[in-house]
A and B are shown apart, each in its own frame.
Chain A
């Protein structure tokens, strides 16, 4: 017995030691990883002209083959061509391969002989006498093409061998090491043919196939979204089934793409970065993050590996008008010493706006002195992220640039974390007067500017002018009085008990809380009135909005009183006006100071850390967001979302909105034509040029807004939503729940005093 215990004790001790060693080893590994080399990007022109879209890319050594499609405006149809691209020499060669009419390439792969195998679908419309299409005959063909010149080596029809429904569309096509062909239709089945084009089997799959790839070892794998994220499973031809998920790779639901690896089994690229994965040992090696090599992962079109270890990527960038251009990027490992070290500016964010991201990448590409590194807090856990951020602030690891999205800026400003930006503006000659002042001052506290909001919109509530007159805002009581007076069938288009109560209070917390004296009045008459008002509406579960008439007809018939809306573009304003069918007042949500139109950032808002070592560098970046170039890029011919904060740019936007589009009618007269069409529920409107009055009205609305939206009182709204439920469910009286809310919120108020 004693021996046994000793043995157990020894075993535990040994186990512990092992674990400790394991822990140490792990740590060292991480340290080794940290640099010694860096990944650097170089760009090259993408030498394929006339391509709107690239699909079906396959690699063969250092050459890649792909088909492109381009819309030929003259012929009014899309043209497909096959390209061979020598990546080492950056030379493109159009292969002499023509698709027959009414054909499309479903998939492309390299077969065992090193030739290109193409899966081609040929379809034929069956028309009746009147020219209507009644049926489609589709044929599936397998073409073998020489990679050197695109000459057709062999072609076989495989429609009958496959025996699939007519409309089957094959999304994925791979060939394994033994020459078996794998065709996947995306959602349910994989069809496997052997190299003699005999059908081997069909395998049914649960879930959506996201990708199919041949590993370096010659096995075919599929990627499926499972319960816990992306799962990579082997297609087992011998057993005619799908294997168990491969361990060690899965990391959530990131947008993964795969390519056959050069050294390891697979090259995997995600939204985050690029890694190699070895299936045998289940180990992965992170190569780089897209952000670290100054590439926006949203723009990455294709990724592959070269024999010299470099990674190539086809990048497709869109400008604001959705015109795209292709670029080729080569990423290579360089010794850290070779790369000129730049000062690292940390950009901390709970959530990063895509426009800001684009600007960071641009900044990193061009700036020789600084480089911005993005640190995202709480990617999956907001609260943990906040705690981490707080800890970083106190330990002096505060990010240099702080994204104010989802943060309460006043709280941080009060603690001296944020730097006053006015002096920097002055220094670099950026005049306050050039910007919409009240919007700029949204982040102004006591004459200090703690953040910038490069673009914005307003959130508001619209109501017929005939009902409220020229009022620019209202209190809760005024709102409730109007509802009682008008007695509309519906107060809002989405009016559950919960959302109506939320509407009554969310911009109006100050009505119930007196922060000065630290008292709150949730047990007062007014809150109870709001509660009783909200309880008339159907509850969230009962309400069925689909049964209602269209919104615009409800508005016309005075059956619907209010519309919660945003003012994010002139066109949206025009549409709202059209929908009401008469003049409207943007009265905003109820608030005690009658200022219910709230400023919202349309992109990311930025602040500078007062503890930053590189304040000049930080400002250099922030300045970009305020300068004409970026501000003008926000101006959008089609309306867009959000207004630029720079006055001149804003005026440019308004000019666009007021400029009419003309066309020439048969008589040669210039006739105004609609710029675009907007639709909302049952309502559509053709947007014409805006009038000066409309623009003036929007300007007035913009200049009258003061408050910036904040989610500081989330605690209060959380308590209210939780505790009002028993009243809405008829289990407690309004006074009872008001009492509980009063009690809990009072603690919050006291604590914050």
Chain B
């Protein structure tokens, strides 16, 4: 089946060869105009890139400021009143990109002096990695289930998945607490793991990808005598590799930044991930915040850089066969 397809393409390609020469001639005329357009586009893209990159750069450069420099700069932004209210920022504040004096004191404190942050970092890892791994596993199965033999009931279930996925967390937080209480998982990592693993989010994404694999491919395999497991393992899995990778990145980033679930489901502060700390920085802790934030960005950036090609590939694939 695959070979046939390739052949078909090849044929079309050779037919197009003649035309493409024509196109090229036309293009030459347009070339000058094209150049202007490209440089213009590059400029706009550049502007956007600066805007988009600013926060990361700011976080990293500010992590080399001394705690006192940071509180002098942004202290009032994060200050709170005794009753927990916000404080009005009464003086001009500026984003400061370049430290007056490069200092590693933040890192020394975070990495060496107070192990608390590393513990929390480890908590984050323990919470997030199993969720990513098992959510993918469960979701791959479910996506396969949704892809094969589509019928009305499955469509309805899939629709329900989408609706559940769209619910804001506040809605299900208390019921989740109830369920966790009932399962006796409160204040254990399971309270976070279980709902995470079965989240419909990955199911939705993977199903979307998997449904792009032409039915014909799977059916051909079926005719060749492949069982469902083999179709799943030998066709869907490899074809969805990129998609899995990109979904993994998304889930990872999503859970890496979770705040509300641990806050409620883990009563023990020692079990909280670092993201909880980062979400409620106050003026007292802001001196360390940037170093913590920078360290906290490392895993997502690594995951991202490692999987970036998959991210594009995974999505690119959707049309590759579709056409």
Direct A–B contact in complex, judged by CB atoms less than 8 Å apart:
yes
Q: Does B264 contact A (CB under 8 A)?
A: yes
A38–B122 alpha-carbon span in the complex (Å): 33
Partner of A381, one of B86, B115, B177, B269: B269
Q: Within 8 Å of chain A (Cβ to Cβ): is B94?
A: no
Determine if B88 and A726 form an interchain contact, defined as CB atoms under 8 angstroms apart.
yes
* Contact status A387-B263, CB under 8 Å: yes
B83 & A714 in contact (Cβ 8 Å cutoff)? yes
Q: A23-B189, A388-B264, A731-B90 are in contact. Are A12 and B129 (CB under 8 A)?
A: yes
Partner of B85, one of A27, A382, A719, A729: A719
- Asked if A12 meets B86 with Cβ closer than 8 Å, knowing A394-B178, A395-B177, the reply is no
> What distance in Å separates the Cβ of A711 from its nearest Cβ neighbour in chain B?
8
Q: Mark B254-294, 1 if CB is under 8 A from A, else 0.
A: 00000000011001010000000000000000000000000
Q: Which residues from chain B contact A23 at a C-beta distance below 8 Å?
A: 126, 188-190, 193
In the bound complex, residues from chain A placing their C-beta under 8 Å from that of B264 are 387-388, 391
B87 and A725: CB pair below 8 A? yes
Is there an interface contact between A729 and B267, defined as CB atoms closer than 8 Å? Answer: no
Q: Mark A400-441, 1 if CB is under 8 A from B, else 0.
A: 000000000000000000000000000000000000000000
Instruction: Knowing A395-B178, A726-B90, say if A717 contacts B85 (CB, 8 Å).
Output: yes
**Could you tell me the distance between the alpha carbons of A395 and B83 in the complex, rounded to whole angstroms?**
28
Measured between beta carbons, the chain B residues less than 8 angstroms from A722 are: 81, 85-88
- CA–CA, A22 and B188, complex, Å: 12
In this assembly, does A74 line the interface, its C-beta being within 8 Å of a C-beta of chain B?
Answer: no
B263 contact from A15, A19, A384, Cβ within 8 A:
A384
Chain B interface size, under 10 / 10 to 19 / 20 to 34 / 35 or more:
20 to 34
CA distance A717 to B82 in the complex (A): 11
Q: Which residues of A contact B174 (CB under 8 A)?
A: 391, 394
Residues of B within 8 A of A711 (CB): 83
When the two chains form their complex, are residues A16 and B263 in contact, meaning their CB atoms are under 8 A apart? no
Is the pair B178, A718 in contact by a Cβ cutoff of 8 Å? no
Cα-based distance from A729 to B126 in the complex (angstroms) = 48
Q: Which of A20, A226, A384, A718 contacts B83 (CB 8 A)?
A: A718
CA distance A247 to B263 in the complex (A): 25
Interface residues of A in 1-38 (CB under 8 A from B): 12-13, 15-16, 19-20, 22-23, 26-27
State whether the Cβ of B214 lies closer than 8 Å to any Cβ in chain A: no
Chain A 723-734: CB-based contact to B (< 8 A → 1; otherwise 0): 101100101000
Write out, one digit per residue, whether chain B residues 171-187 have a CB within 8 A of any chain A CB (1) or not (0): 00010011001000000
A516 within 8 Å of B (CB atoms): no
Question: CA A711 – CA B83 in complex, angstroms?
Answer: 10
Given the interface pairs A16-B129, A16-B133, the reply to whether A27 lies near B188 with Cβ below 8 Å is yes
Would you call A307 an interface residue if the criterion is a C-beta within 8 Å of the partner chain's C-beta atoms?
no
Q: Is A485 an interface residue (CB 8 A)?
A: no
Is A228 part of the contact surface with B, judged by Cβ < 8 Å? yes
Q: What are the residues of chain B within 8 A of A13 when measuring CB–CB?
A: 133
Please measure, in the bound complex, the distance between the C-alpha atom of A394 and the C-alpha atom of B177, giving whole angstroms. 9
Q: A134 in the interface, Cβ–Cβ < 8 Å?
A: no
> Are A388 and B188 CB-contacts (below 8 A) given A16-B129, A19-B130, A717-B83?
no
B323 contacts partner chain A, Cβ-Cβ < 8 Å: no
Q: How far is the CA of A731 from the CA of B178 in the complex (A)?
A: 49
B116 and A228 within 8 A (CB)? yes
What's the minimum C-beta distance from A443 to chain B, rounded to whole angstroms?
Answer: 23
User: Does A227 belong to the interface (CB within 8 Å)?
Assistant: yes
Query: Residue A324 at the B interface, CB < 8 A?
Result: no
User: By the criterion CB–CB under 8 Å, are B109 and A227 in contact?
Assistant: yes
Instruction: Tell me whether B9 is interfacial, beta carbon within 8 Å.
Output: no
Q: Do B177 and A391 have beta carbons less than 8 Å apart?
A: yes
B84 within 8 A of partner (CB): yes
Question: Does A380 make an interface contact (CB < 8 A)?
Answer: yes
With an 8 A cutoff between CB atoms, is A325 at the interface?
no
A226–B116 CA distance with the chains assembled, in angstroms: 13
Which residues of chain B in 99-119 are interfacial with respect to chain A, using CB atoms and an 8 Å cutoff? 109, 113-116
Q: Cβ of B90 and Cβ of A729 under 8 Å apart?
A: yes
Which residue, A22, A227, A380, has most C-beta atoms of chain B within 10 A? A227
30 A-B Cβ contacts within 8 A? A16-B130, A16-B133, A23-B126, A23-B190, A23-B193, A27-B188, A27-B190, A227-B109, A227-B113, A228-B113, A228-B116, A384-B263, A387-B263, A388-B267, A391-B177, A394-B177, A395-B181, A711-B83, A717-B83, A718-B85, A718-B86, A722-B81, A722-B85, A722-B86, A725-B87, A725-B90, A726-B90, A729-B88, A729-B90, A731-B90
New A-B pairs, 5, CB < 8 Å, besides A228-B116, A383-B84: A23-B126, A23-B189, A26-B188, A388-B264, A395-B181
